Amino acid sequence: MIEFASTPGGELAMTGADIHFEVFVKKHRKASWSLVEALHDREAALKLARTLKDSLPEGSVRVVREVWSAQESAFRGGPIFEAGPERFEQGASTEVDASLPCVTPSDFFGASARDTIRRVLSGWLERRQICPLELLSRPDLMEDLDGSETDLQHAVQKVAIARAQSSGAPVQTFMKQLNALVERAAADARREAATAKALPKARDFADLIEKILDEGGPEKRMRRAIAERLGEAADLRAKTTLVLDMLDELPARPEARDFALKQADAFLAEFLTFEPALGAITGKGDDTGVIVERLTSLYEGRADHADLAGAPAPARRLAARFAAGELPDSRGEVASTILTHLRSPKRLRPESVMAEIELSRQLAQRLIRVSGPDLHPTALVDAFTCRSARLLSPEAVDEALQGANGAPELLERLFAMEDNIVGEANKKKLAAYVRARLKTSATETWFLRGPGQPLERLSRLTRLQARALKGAFPAADKAELADAFDALGLQTLDETKVLSRIEASEQSALDRTIALLKLASSGVLPVGRCRQDAQARAMRVLASQMGRKESAQPDASAKLSAIKELLPPREPGAAA
C-alpha cells in the first residue's frame, strides 16, 4: 500500500521522495540552462528561484516539478514557475540525443559499465573493500549503497557531467535518467533479496558449482555464490588470495570448470584494478622497476622466473594459471597495469638514469616477444616512446653524464642512450644533445690538445662518428652528426698538423703517399673532408716532381701497386 503525506506547499508526495522540484537558471541569453538545486519542498524551490532572479536582472529562472512514474520507470513533469526574458523559450538542448548506454539494471553487469562504477564509486568501494561485481551480485551491498546518498549522488553527477560534455545535452537530463536507473536497480535488489532462493548446500566449492550448473540459468547464481564467499574475507588483499583458493577447488568436469573459471576470472580482474589487491600479488619492491619486472614475469606466465622469487606466493600461483592459458580477463588487467606504469612519469630506477635505460631495454625485448591483443605492439611502442621522452629531459641527461671521464665517454654515454630509446622525435632530440656536446669547449679541447697522441684521439673521434652513422637517428640528423664529427676532425688536424708533417716529411714521395692514403682508408680519420684532405695531399705528393721521378724507377712497381689498392674506388661514370 502506497502512503501519501502532505508537503508544506500543499503537494501530495509519495513517501520515498517521488516528487521533487528542480531549479534551473540561465544567466544570460548566450548561456545554457544549468541545474542549481533539486528540492522536495515546493515553496523552498520557488523562494530560491525568485532569489536567483533578483540577483540576475538579465537572467532567467525556471522551476520544474518532477514526478516518478512507476509504470514508465521515469520522471515526468513540467515547469511550475518561469521568470526572465526566456521563460517561454524551449532550450535547443531538447533536440540533443541524451541517451545512455545502460537502459536496464542488468546492463550494469557489462564490462565497460563495471569499469565506470569502479571509477566513480572508487572511494565507497575501497572503504567497503569490495569490487563492482561484488556490489552488483549482493543485494545487501546494493541496499547499503542506496542508503549512502552522498556517495551515490556524487557518482551519478560525475557520469552525468561526462555524458553531457560528450553529447551536448544538459547535465540534468542525464541525472534524471541515471537516478531513475539507479532507483530501478535498488528496487530490483530489494525484490531479489526478498525472493531469492538460498544457494544449494554443498560439500565444497566444486560441489556447489556442479549443483548451480545443474539448476540451469546459473550465471547470476554463480556470481552470487562467489560474492557471498568473498564476503568472508576481511579486505581486498585477502579476497584476491581467496579467489586463487577457489580456483584450486574447481570441479573436474570441463563444462563446470570452464563456467566457474570464467566467473572467478571476472572477479579477480576487478580486484587487480585496486592497488591493495594488486599489492597482494606483486608485493613491495625497492622501486617501481621491481614491480614492473614482476608484472612482466607474471604476464609471461613464468612462475619460476627470478623476478618472482621475492614476490608473494600468489604471484607464482597466478603466473601458473596464465601459463596454462586461463584467466584471460585477469591477464589483460595485468597488461593494462604494465602499460600504465610505463606511461607513468614515475621513474623505474630513481637511483640511476643509465640503470633505468637498461631496464627499459630489457622490458621492451621481453614484452614485444609476448605481445598480443592485450599488449599490442603499437601500445608498447607508444608507452616506451613516452618513457623515452622523459628520460631525455635536461635533468635526466645531465644525471646520465655525471662522472664521465672526458668528452669521449660523455659522447659514448649519449650513444648508449640511443640504443634504448624509442621514437623518431626522441632520436632527433638525442641527436641534438650530441651535436651540442660536440660544440662545447671541453670537447674541442679534449680532441685538439687532449691526452695521448693526435692519431689516437682522431681514431676515437672516428669510432664515435661510425657509431652515429650506425644508429637509428633520422637520416637528416645522422648526416648532421657525421658532418659535425668530421668538422671537429678537421679542427684537430689543423691544430696538430698531422697531415702537414707527413706531407713535408723526409720520406720518399711514394712512402708519404702510401702513409697519407693509409690514414684515409684505415678508419683513423673521420669520414668526409678529413679523409678527402688526406687523399688530396697524397695525390699532390704523387704528382710532384719527386713523385713522378720515383714512379718511373724500375723498383717502384710494388709501391705503385700498394698506392692503387689504397685509392678510393672510382665513382660510376667518372672520367678515367
Instruction: Provide the 10 A C-beta neighbour count for residue 449.
Output: 12
Q: Which of 453, 468, 573 is nearest to 528 (CA)?
A: 468
Amino acid at 348: L
Cβ-proximal residues to 513 (8 Å cutoff; 6+ apart), any chain: 538, 539, 541, 542, 547, 563
Amino acid at 547: G
Phi, psi values for residue 95, rounded to 5°: -85, -10
* Count of all residues that appear for the chain in the document: 576
Please report the pLDDT score of residue 181 as a whole number: 83
As a whole number of angstroms, the distance between CA 275 and CA 269 comes to: 12
Phi, psi values for residue 471, rounded to 5°: -70, 180
Amino acid at 158: K
Amino acid at 77: G
Please tell me whether the overall predicted TM-score, pTM, comes out greater than 0.85 for this model: no
Q: Which of 334, 345, 330, 341 is nearest to 289 (CA)?
A: 341
The 10 Å CB-count burial string (b at 16+, else e) for 201-215 is eeeebbebbbbbbee
Q: Using H for helix, E for strand and C for coil, what is the string for 234-268?
A: CCHHHHHHHHHHHHCCCCCCHHHHHHHHHHHHHHH
CA angle 191, 195, 199 (to 5 degrees): 125
Q: Which of 244, 260, 268 is nearest to 332 (CA)?
A: 268
Do 469 and 527 meet the contact criterion of CB atoms below 8 Å apart?
A: yes
Q: What are the mean pLDDT values of the chain's consecutive 10-residue runs (576 residues total)?
A: 35 47 82 78 86 86 74 62 69 52 80 88 92 92 86 86 76 83 84 80 87 81 90 93 92 91 94 93 93 97 95 95 95 95 92 90 93 90 90 91 92 91 92 94 95 94 95 94 96 95 93 94 94 95 94 92 86 44
State how far the alpha carbon of 450 is from the alpha carbons of 94, 308, 534, 575, in Å.
Answer: 78, 49, 22, 42
Please report the pLDDT score of residue 70 as a whole number: 52
The 10 Å CB-count burial string (b at 16+, else e) for 333-359 is bbbbbbbebbbeeebbbeeebbebbeb
Q: Which element (helix H / strand E) includes 565?
A: helix 557-566
Signed CA dihedral, 150, 153, 159, 161: sign only: negative
Cβ-proximal residues to 260 (8 Å cutoff; 6+ apart), any chain: 209, 222, 246, 250, 251
- SS3 state of residue 101: coil
- SS3 state of residue 147: helix
Place of cell 535518467: 177
The three cell numbers of residue 444 are 674541442
Do 23 and 59 meet the contact criterion of CB atoms below 8 Å apart?
A: no
The three cell numbers of residue 5 are 503525506
